[in-house]
Amino acid sequence: MDDLTLAARLGRFRASVARGQALRVTEVPGGLAVLDDEFPLSHEHNQLLLTEPELAPDDLPALADELFAHLPHRRVALLDGTLTAAYADILGRAGYAREDEVVMVHEGPVPAPAASVREVGAAALSGPYGRRLRTWMPEAGPELLRQLVERRRRRRAGAEDVRFLASCTESCEIASWADLYLDRAAGIAQTEEVVTAGEHLGHGHGDAVLATALHLAARAGCGVRFLVADAADWPREWYGRRGYRAVGTSSGFVRTG
C-alpha cells in the first residue's frame, strides 16, 4: 500500500474513533460533525472532521458556524493533506488558526513490553493529567480543566478495544501514560496522547509506555501501528528515533472567541 492510500485509510480510522465517542453525530459532505453536550469545551468532542473533498470550500466556514453556534469555539479537522490544500485558504480568511500534524507509522522492530507499565482506569489518570494541564495551561479556568480531565472516559467508545496504559515508579506513582486504540478487524492500532509528568521526564517512562503500546498492538494482530505528532514540535523526532516514519499529514483549524 502506498503512503497516500495508507494516510487516507488512517484518516478514516481517526474519523471512526471520533464517531464512536460522540454523543451526537451530524453527517456532512465528505465527513461528519461530532458533538458532546457534557463536554462542550472539549475541541476533541465538538468538531467537524473531513476525510473527502466533497464540500465546496466557500461553504465550510458557514457550515461550522451553523453546527457549533452554541459553542465558544469552532474546530475543523482535515484528516488528509490534500484537504489542507483545498480548504486552508478559506479557513485562514475566516479567522482560523492552523496546526499541522504528521501521521507516522511504526516500521521498526516491535519492542518488548516494559515491566513498569500496566493498564489503568480513566480515574487513575485524572490527578496526574490534571496537574500536567495546569502546567501547560496556567490561565485555563477550573471548568475547562475539569472537562479536559473527565472526557477521557468517553474515549472507551472510540474503538473495539481501548486501553489506558501507565508507567509507574517503584513507589507506584504514575509517571507517564497514553491511550491505545485497537481495531483487530481493521488491523489498525493508534497510540494517542503520550504524556509524561514533568517531574519524571528523562527517566524512560515515555519509552516504556510507547514500547508496551506497540507490543500490545502487534500481539492483537494490528499490522498498522500509528500515531499523530505535531509537525512543529520535538516529539516528532523522538518518535522517528523509535521506528516511526511519516506517511502523511493532516491539519486542525481552530477559531475561538
Over residues 53-108, the pLDDT tens digits come to 999 999 999 999 999 999 999 999 999 999 999 999 999 999 999 999 999 999 98
Residue 254 lies in a domain: no
> How high is the pLDDT of residue 193?
94
> How high is the pLDDT of residue 1?
79
CB 7 within 8 A of CB 51: no
CB 36 within 8 A of CB 46: yes
pLDDT band at 194 (very low <50, low <70, confident <90, very high): very high
SS (HEC) of 172-227: CCEEEEEEEEEECCCCEEEEEEEEECHHHCCCCHHHHHHHHHHHHHHHCCCCEEEE
Residues 72, 26 share a domain: yes
Question: Which residue segment(s) compose the domain that 53 sits in?
Answer: 3-102
Residue 154 lies in a domain: yes
> How high is the pLDDT of residue 129?
97
- Continuous H helices in the chain: 3-21, 60-67, 81-93, 126-136, 142-150, 205-219, 235-240
Closest CA to 94 of 61, 49, 133: 61
Q: How many CB atoms lie within 10 A of CB 20?
A: 18
Of the residues 102, 136, 159, the one at which a domain ends: 102
Residues 220, 130 share a domain: yes
Residue 255 lies in a domain: no
Residue 125 lies in a domain: yes
Residues 9, 98 share a domain: yes
Spatial distance between the Cα atoms of 134 and 104, rounded to a whole number of angstroms: 28
> How high is the pLDDT of residue 38?
98
Residue 20 has pLDDT above 90, yes or no: yes
Q: In the chain, how many domains are there?
A: 2
pLDDT, mean over the chain: 97
Residue 43 lies in a domain: yes
Of the residues 74, 102, 130, the one at which a domain ends: 102
Residue 108 lies in a domain: no
